[in-house]
Amino acid sequence: MSPSPLSVCPGGQLPNFLSGLRPPRLHSLDCDLSRCPPLEPWRGVLVPREIDAALSDLYEHVLREFIYPWYGQVSLDEAFVQEVRLGLRHASAVLLKRVGKV
């Protein structure tokens, strides 16, 4: 059987063009913890349960009104929504810490 004109490799398999790519080098951030902002700025931030519950309700409202309507058409994966939720918590904690310094 002779190969078809579109055949690139023996057996009709396509070559793996990505095999020659190398993963990017990751650089460490040699960071002194006293100078780096914390990855979880909410640690040590204490708020009353009522305020925490109100913020959670606000976040869920934002997700319901502004994220789920368009994202539900793109994917059913909740990972992005969790990242948005985490971003909202992160921004709120940073804001509370900055207001506390004033």
Query: Which pLDDT score, from 0 to 100, does residue 34 have?
Result: 58
SS3 23: coil
Examine residue 33 and state whether it is found in any structural domain, yes or no: no
User: What's the total number of domains in the chain?
Assistant: 1
Examine residue 99 and state whether it is found in any structural domain, yes or no: yes
Examine residue 21 and state whether it is found in any structural domain, yes or no: no
Residue 56: domain span: 45-102
Examine residue 86 and state whether it is found in any structural domain, yes or no: yes
pLDDT confidence of 98, banded at 50, 70, 90? confident
Token duo for residue 60: 């869920």
Examine residue 5 and state whether it is found in any structural domain, yes or no: no
Closest by CA position to 93, among listed 50, 32, 52, 35: 52
Higher pLDDT, 14 or 96: 96
Query: At a CB cut-off of 8 Å and minimum separation 6, what does 41 contact?
Result: 90, 93, 94, 97
Examine residue 102 and state whether it is found in any structural domain, yes or no: yes
- Indicate the Cα dihedral angle 52, 56, 59, 65, nearest 10°: -140
Q: Which stretch, 11-15, 37-41, 84-88, has highest mean pLDDT?
A: 84-88
41-68 per-position pLDDT tens digit:
777 778 889 988 999 999 999 999 999 9
The answer to whether the CB of 36 falls within 8 A of the CB of 29 is: yes
Examine residue 31 and state whether it is found in any structural domain, yes or no: no
Residue 62, burial from CB neighbour count under 10 angstroms (0-12, 13-18, 19+) = middle
Examine residue 20 and state whether it is found in any structural domain, yes or no: no
Query: Which pLDDT score, from 0 to 100, does residue 79 have?
Result: 92
